[in-house]
Amino acid sequence: MNSLVESPLLALFSGSLYLLCSLLVFIRVRRSGFFYLLAYSEWFYIIGLGFGSIFLALGVSSDNRIYEEYILQNGLIGDATFYHIIFFSVGMFFGAFIDKMTGIKVDSENSIKFVSHFNGNQIFLYRGFIFLGLSFLIVYMFLVGPVTALSTAAAARGGSTEGLEGASGYLFLKNLAQIGGLSIIFFPFLIDQKKFKFDVFFICFYGIFLYLMTGARAAIFDTLILAMLIWFSRKRLGVAKKTFWICCFVFLGLLFTLYGKGLSDSLFFSGFGDADVVSNEVESIFGKITGQFIHLVYSIDAGVKYFFENGSTISSALLLAPLGIFPGWLYSYLDLEALSWQHVDWVDNIVCLNTFSYPDAEPCTMPPYYSGVSAYLGPITFGFIFGFVKFFIYQKISNLWHQLRFRSEVLWLPILYFILVARLSVLIPNVIGLFSFFAFVGIIIYIFRIFFIRLKI
C-alpha cells in the first residue's frame, strides 16, 4: 500500500479532529430546526476533510487518475496541509461557541421589522420565483431546440459548446433560471398553509426540469432534498420515524451524488444522440465516494504548496465576481473588461489556478472551495480565520431561526441568510456573480416597493 501523505498519523488526527468539532457544532444546534440545514450544507466537507483525511492516512486511494497524477507532479500531501485542517477545525469550533462563551445574544426585532415589508406576499413571491425560473428555461429550450437543450445539458455546464450549433450565446438563460431556487425560502410558510398544499409540487417540477436542462446535481439538492429537509425540521417525529427519514435522506443524497452527474445527458444521448458518447467506465462505489469529496484535501495541499513557492494570492476573479451583475459580453462592448472576472488571466482565476495542480484534469474544472481558498491566502492562520468566520455566521443564523421558529411567515429570512452563506462560501466566481445579479434585482424591487408605498401615503 503506497503512502499518500508525509505523516499518516497527523492526517489521521486532523481528520478525526474535524469530525469531532463537526459533531460538537451539531450538538450545539441540535434543538433548532437549523440543524438539518447545517447538516445539508456541511456533509460535503465532513466527508471530504474529515473522512477524506482519514482515508489518506490509511493509504486508501480513490483509484482516480486525476489524484494519482497530482501526487506524481506535486509529491505527497504535506504536513502543513493537515495542520491547516486542524486549525480550520479549531476555528470552526470557536466560531460556533463564541456567543456561548461571551454571552452575546441575537436580537431578532430588526429582522422582524425588515421582513414585515413582505408580509402577505409570501405565496406571490414563491410562485413568482418559480415562474421566472421556468420562463428562462422554456425560452432557452425554444431558442436552441428541445433535443439540443436536453442532450447537451451537463456538457454545456462544463464549458463544452459542442452540439449547440451556434446557440452557445443563450447559455446565460440557464444561469438566470436558478432564481427559481430562491422560492425555497418560503417553504416553511407554504407547508403550514393547508390550502396551498398543491404549490408544493411546483418546486418539485421546477427542480426536476432545472436538472434536466443543466445536468447539475445541485438543481435537485437545492430544491427537492432541501424542501424535504425543511419539512422534516418543522415536524415533531418520534425516534423511529426520524431515524427512517434520516436514512432516506442519506441514501438519496449519496445515490444522487454518485450517479446524478451527467445522468440527464446520458439518458438523452442514448435516445437522440450518438450512443458512443455515453461513458461506460466502471468505477467502484468506494472510489466514487472518495473521488467526489477528497479533492478538498488535495486542493488545500495545492494552496499550501503554491503559498510556499509564490506567497499569498488573492484571486482577482473573486474580487471582481460581485461586479458580475452583467454578462461578460457587455463589459467587452463597453470596453470595461478590466472590471469583469470573466476576462482575467487564468492565473488570476482561483479555479483555473487550482486546476493547474491537477495535470490530468480539464482546465478550470477543480475549484478549491472555501477551505482551499483559505490555504492560498495563507496556511494555518487563514484556516483558523475562515473556519471561525463561517461558523460564527452560521451560529447567528441558527439563533435567529430558533427565535422565529414558531412564525413561519418570517422564517424565510434565516433560510435566505443560510442559502447566501452556503452558496457564496463555495468561493466560485460565477456563483458569486450570479447571486450578485439576484441581489441587484432584489434591491431594485425593494426600492420600488418602498417608493410606491410612500407614494400612496
According to the 3-state scheme, what is the secondary structure of 324-364? CCCCHHHHHHCCCHHHCHHHCCHHHCHHHHHHCCCCCCCCC
List phi, psi (to 5°) of 77: -65, 125
Q: Are 94 and 145 in contact (CB under 8 A)?
A: no
- The pTM for the full model equals 0.85
Please name the residue that has the C-alpha cell 451539531.
Answer: 26
DSSP tag of 152: T
- Among left, alpha and beta (phi > 0; psi -120 to 50; other), residue 193 is beta
| CA–CA gap between residue 180 and residue 183 (Å, rounded) | 6
pLDDT tens, residue order, the chain (457 aa): 567 899 999 999 999 999 999 999 998 887 777 888 888 889 889 999 999 999 899 887 666 788 888 998 999 999 999 999 999 999 999 999 988 776 666 555 666 666 666 666 788 888 888 998 899 889 888 888 777 777 766 555 555 555 556 666 677 788 888 888 888 888 888 887 766 667 788 888 888 888 888 877 888 888 888 888 888 877 776 777 777 777 777 777 777 776 666 555 554 444 444 444 444 444 455 566 666 788 999 999 999 999 999 999 888 888 888 887 676 667 777 787 788 887 888 888 899 999 999 988 888 888 999 999 999 999 999 999 999 999 999 998 888 888 887 888 888 888 988 998 988 888 888 888 888 888 877 777 777 767 766 666 5
List the grid coordinates of 343.
476576462
Nearest to 70 by CA among 352, 354, 314: 354
- pLDDT tens digit string along 155-197? 555 555 555 566 666 777 888 888 888 888 888 888 877 666 6
| CA–CA gap between residue 15 and residue 123 (Å, rounded) | 44
